Homo-oligomer: A and B are copies of this chain.
Amino acid sequence: MNPSERLLSLVENYLAQTALPAEPERLYTPIGYSLAGGGKRLRPVLLMLSHAIFSDNAPQALPAAAAIELFHNFTLLHDDIMDHAPLRRGKPSVYAKWGENVAILSGDAMMIAAYDRLARLQTPQLAQILAVFNRTALEVCEGQQYDMDFEERQKVSVAEYMQMIELKTSVLLAGAVVIGALLGGASEADCRRLRRFAVELGLAFQLQDDLLDSYGDERLGKTIGGDILEGKKTYLMITAMSRASEAEREVLRRTHADATLTDAEKIAAVKAVYDRLDVPHLTEQQIEVRFERALAQLDELDADPARVEPLRTYAESLLGRKH
């Protein structure tokens, strides 16, 4: 096992040991279901990798890693209600399986369970870590609100979209690495660098997600073109809108709702505009810029490069970069 796999297995063990009460059944069963639903455990692994740069005491950081994962899963439970999403990681969402009230309330309990893990940290830095966690958590809510606001708006700029995904996706990665670093005893300057690393990594990761949804990747289980069929405002769509002629804009706006077209025709029509406007290439460029900025922050850390390497390798694997 490489370092990130070893830390992932520590996280999985810790999460599996987290006993939940049995009653009331409809409050706690969905939490176990959601936690067992898999996922990459991206956020807790980032926390552990960041912590491992500064400390060999991995178990110390596990409650924080679990807190971050519980918080992330809480956001999924509530987002799935707000988005009326029937599926999550290929299985029925809690919302679809148990209904809305259960998803609201067990989501709430899951957020409290996250704070409960934080309270178990044996550290004099608890107040500082709690403050980082709270700020992060509020920003994630802000990101979700902007995301919903943008779906109702005609026009969203690329800058607005980047700010939204920074809040909705990047800040939780940033919170994870900063909390890991704080627990490991990192300096303020290194916490700042790791924060910037994670913000840029998160942006690159989200843009790649947008790109793969339309242009595919066999590693992804998703149907290709889902975003196009939903008419979602992704980086590709917003970039295309900002460069399109009036005629092309009409295609981008209307195709997903055009009942005379098959799904395949809709996807082909929108991708033809994307291709004409060089959108895939521009997106790849943006991913590359963000990813390079992220890695540059790692070079600045006041730490033995050998200890930083596992985090760098993990970031590269996330973005599908061969090492």
Within 8 A of B (CB), among A124-165: 126-127, 130-131, 133-135, 137-138, 141-142, 144-146, 148-149
Which residues in window 24-67 of A have CB below 8 A to B?
Answer: 24, 26-27
Please report the C-alpha to C-alpha distance between residue A119 and residue B23 in the assembled complex, in whole angstroms. 30
User: Does A290 count as interface, using CB distance less than 8 angstroms?
Assistant: no
**Per-residue B-contact encoding for A55-87, CB less than 8 Å = 1, 0 else:** 000000000000000000000001001100000
Interface-located stretch among A105-113, A231-239, A248-256, A306-314: A105-113
A118 at the interface (CB under 8 A from B): yes
12 other A-B residue contacts (CB within 8 Å) besides A26-B148, A105-B144: A24-B146, A26-B149, A78-B108, A82-B104, A104-B104, A107-B108, A112-B134, A113-B138, A115-B133, A115-B137, A119-B130, A121-B127
Residues in chain B near residue A130, CB distance under 8 A: 115, 118-119, 126, 130
Does the CB pair B134–A116 fall under 8 Å? yes
Contact B27 A145 (CB under 8 A): yes
Q: Which of A107, A108, A109, A121 has the most C-beta atoms of chain B within 10 angstroms of its own C-beta?
A: A108
Bound-complex Cα distance A137 to B112 (A): 7
Q: Is A262 an interface residue (CB 8 A)?
A: no
Main SS class of interface, A: helix
Q: When the two chains form their complex, are residues B118 and A105 in contact, meaning their CB atoms are under 8 A apart?
A: no
| Residues of B with C-beta under 8 A to A317 | none
User: A119 contacts which of B82, B101, B127 (Cβ < 8 Å)?
Assistant: B127
- Chain B residues with CB under 8 A of A82: 101, 104-105
- Which among A23, A24, A81, A100 has the highest number of chain B CB atoms within 10 Å? A24
1/0 contact string of A282-309 vs chain B (CB within 8 Å)? 0000000000000000000000000000
Residue contact B131 to A101, C-beta cutoff 8 Å: no
Question: A262–B138 Cα gap in the complex (Å)?
Answer: 48
Question: A111: which of B101, B111, B135 is its contact (CB, 8 Å)?
Answer: B111
B126-A138 in contact (CB<8A): no
Residues of B close to A127: CB separation below 8 A: 119, 121, 126
From B23, B24, B133, B141, A27 is in contact (CB under 8 Å) with: B141
Residues of B within 8 A of A112 (CB): 111, 134, 137-138, 141
